[in-house]
Structure 1
Amino acid sequence: MTASTRLDWIDIAKAAAIVLIVLFHTTDWFLDALLPGSQGAVVRLWNDVSISLIPVRIPLFFLVSGLLAVSALERPWRTLTVTRFLALLWPFFVWTLLVMPFWMLRASYDDPLAILPLAVSTLFFAGAHYWYLPALIVALVIAKLTRRLPLTTLVAAALLAFSPRTVLEPLLGALPTILGVNVDRWFTFTFWFLVGCFARPVLERIAAWPRWAAFVAVAGFGGLIAVQRTVGVLALTTALVSIVGIIAAILLSAWASRSPSVVRVGRYLAARTLPIYVGHAFLFELVAVIAESSRRAGFAPSIGNTVTGVLVIPVVVIAAVAASAALYDASRRWNFAWLYEPPARLRTRLGYWAAHHASR
């Protein structure tokens, strides 16, 4: 496997992860907000598929983020402050403020101000819609601090990620609700970021496994999902499902990287995962509010037949991904890139500040 192929499978895995995130939000709440009562057999099947992918979707996103952050671990803190931390916090605050009024309207259309305190708290307690961005900073800080002890760090992170949540409930319960949820996410997903940072050679060897291994991994993942549904969600089965699912995702991405057309799409989406991540959540909230307003005005569309039911979810996912990517591309042409990245002047000033304090 060439260096180019290795990069291609990482891009494809990253693209797949963001598409699966959009799929989850579509089946989890957006479709019902758009078309209330859309719970036919086909829609339920899509929902079951999306739920089954929970052990893979966000872990894969963090794993790929870790793979792409390896070089950053050796950079000085002042450099990380400008190139990574600010680059993540800026869109977090901008898009949280943008999505907030629409989220409030969707959650409480008749009295949106009732949830204003909760909405504002997301700015200070690591987010709701955009929790991944602060979580990535936490994971990067941990990886940098522990980079000299990779094995010990991975073992400790695995114990936190896969331990029964009853062990952590006293700590999480003592925190404000939003913060408690996000700290739980940090415990759960930082492990996968660290795997990406510290175990890249292992992951590359897995990606080079023969094609039949992908079929075995997919079958194993499906079997473990079936077991988990039979016996319930246990820490052991959760760990196994995630590990086998991640292996399957890596192998499928490596296999897909043999197709030039898939590689082109993967590269395009991988370069726009942040815009898709922030953009689709905003668009979903906006459209959900418009849909609610339309229903109150007497217009209430529904899924009319099985064919529509089969197509509606993939159409929504593709439209959300395409619209989010198009909005980002337009921002580059029409000078509103500040939606996604901090202005150059702010980066320069923060760089001066970081350099000044580092020299003291």
Structure 2
Amino acid sequence: MDLTARTKARVDWVDYAKGFCIIMVVMMHSTLGVEKAAGAEGWMTYVVAFAKPFRMPDFFMISGLFLAQVIDRDWRTYADRKIIHFGYFYVLWLVIQFAFKAPGMIADDGTMGALREFLLAFIDPFGTLWFIFLLPLFFAVTKLLRGVPVWIVWLAAAALETLPIETGWVIPDEFAARFVYFYSGYIFAPLIFRFAARVIERPVEAAAALAVWAVIEGVAVFGGYSELPFVSLGLGMLGAAAVIAFSALLSKSHRLGWLRYCGQNSIVIYLAFFLPMATTRTLLLKTGVIPDLGTISLIVTAVAVVTPILFFWLVRGTRFRFLFERPAWARIERGSARAFAAAE
């Protein structure tokens, strides 16, 4: 395989991995929401449970893969692309989510209670937006720790993951649980890309290894071991490697192009899936046209994934493109002539 082919394969598998992860994230929110509203569980709960150890670890690991290419840039450029970029989308979609949730919040807690929750979201994100809040924090911390030996940072991050940190505040809890995966994506990127290339070269062996991993994952999850200290870290790393291997195999076969496209627009889906998810869930549960909760969860997931993409297509090139493209006034990078920067 020549260099051009390897580069294309690498880009493809990253998009496949992001697509797979964003669908797993939407599936989790959709399934848990349906089951909470119905007061019962469906068969999709087992799929969600199986994916839990690797769902977010792989998402964060992939997010750190290309950091080495930009981490040495000046702070102004770095902050614009890695901190303010995500900050803009967080604030924008926080306001949008609050607009839809406010009536219910006011009914439950009054106007001042709803306003308090909104203001608190600037330091403690609510709903589905915590990933967008945490990601720029990871970028900032990693750059600040640039001068510290990577093995010290990695061991400290791994120790945080194994500790039972449960403050009830999203940011410290999720930072402790996830930073090791983001940092691993950053420092182990060359190894990860070589691993993906090896999978592409040896698909049969990779498929067999994936089967073994699936058995280990299932035993750990359904046997009640997946939340144990060190076990959770090991499953997170193994699961991330499994998703990378699976994605590399897909990139070799050039199948499931729609999944790759979802990966290319994963932030679009992440930002906007909450409304079609809630609407579809309410509609299906109230009408009762589909009695099976697992099937309802699957339909809600599909609608929640597809609708943001359709909406993204609808607003492209219009005055509403600011929903997914950052306008010039929200940029601080010098010398940028672009009026908008896409969500990814």
TM-score, with length taken from structure 2? 0.84
Unaligned runs of 5+ in 2: 200-204, 336-344
Letter in 1 for 2:38: G
- Shift of the 346–305 alpha-carbon distance from structure 1 to 2, 3 Å rule, reads closer
The alignment partner of 1:342 has SS state of: strand
Contact 1:62 1:192 in 2 (8 A): yes
- In the alignment, what sits opposite 1:357? none
Matched residues in 1 for 2:66 and 2:107: separation?
41
- In the alignment, what sits opposite 1:60? 58
Aligned-residue offset at 1:341:
3.0
- In the alignment, what sits opposite 1:186? 175
- In the alignment, what sits opposite 1:277? 270
Aligned-residue offset at 1:55:
1.4
- In the alignment, what sits opposite 2:94? 96
Aligned-residue offset at 1:334:
2.2
Contact 1:82 1:351 in 2 (8 A): yes
Aligned-residue offset at 1:313:
2.2
Displaced runs of 4+ in structure 1, greater than 6 A? Answer: none
Farther off after superposition, 273-282 or 122-131:
122-131
Letter in 1 for 2:268: P
Contact 1:275 1:328 in 2 (8 A): yes
Contact 2:88 2:330 in 1 (8 A): no
C-alpha deviations, 1:88-130, integer Å up to 9, x for none?
0111001001111322445565656344312321023345431
- Shift of the 232–318 alpha-carbon distance from structure 1 to 2, 3 Å rule, reads closer
Farther off after superposition, 144-153 or 318-327:
144-153
C-alpha deviations, 1:156-187, integer Å up to 9, x for none?
1111112233xxx5xx3xxxx5xx22211011
Q: How many residues align?
A: 323
C-alpha deviations, 1:251-308, integer Å up to 9, x for none?
111112222232x3233112211110010024335666xx4xx89xxx93125445xx
Please say if 1:77 is aligned against 2:71. Answer: no
Please say if 1:245 is aligned against 2:227. Answer: no
- Shift of the 110–125 alpha-carbon distance from structure 1 to 2, 3 Å rule, reads closer
Unaligned runs of 5+ in 1: 354-360
Contact 1:90 1:341 in 2 (8 A): no
The alignment partner of 2:319 has SS state of: coil
- In the alignment, what sits opposite 1:163? 163
Contact 1:103 1:285 in 2 (8 A): no
Matched residues in 2 for 1:203 and 1:112: separation?
50
Contact 1:87 1:341 in 2 (8 A): no
C-alpha deviations, 1:127-170, integer Å up to 9, x for none?
543111121111111222233422221111111112233xxx5x
Aligned-residue offset at 1:216:
1.8
The counterpart of 1:300, out of the listed 271, 280, 286, is 286
> Between the two proteins, what is the percent identity of the paired residues?
22
Aligned-residue offset at 1:11:
0.9
Contact 1:8 1:266 in 2 (8 A): no
Letter in 2 for 1:300: K
The alignment partner of 1:44 has SS state of: coil
- Shift of the 216–108 alpha-carbon distance from structure 1 to 2, 3 Å rule, reads farther
Letter in 1 for 2:326: P
Identify the structure with the greater helix proportion. Answer: 1
Please say if 1:214 is aligned against 2:210. Answer: yes
Matched residues in 2 for 1:214 and 1:52: separation?
14
Aligned-residue offset at 1:336:
1.2
Aligned-residue offset at 1:86:
1.8
- In the alignment, what sits opposite 2:185? 196
Matched residues in 2 for 1:69 and 1:281: separation?
28
- Shift of the 286–183 alpha-carbon distance from structure 1 to 2, 3 Å rule, reads farther
Contact 2:154 2:184 in 1 (8 A): yes
Contact 1:225 1:241 in 2 (8 A): no
- Shift of the 219–135 alpha-carbon distance from structure 1 to 2, 3 Å rule, reads same
Contact 2:77 2:334 in 1 (8 A): no
Farther off after superposition, 131-140 or 108-117:
108-117
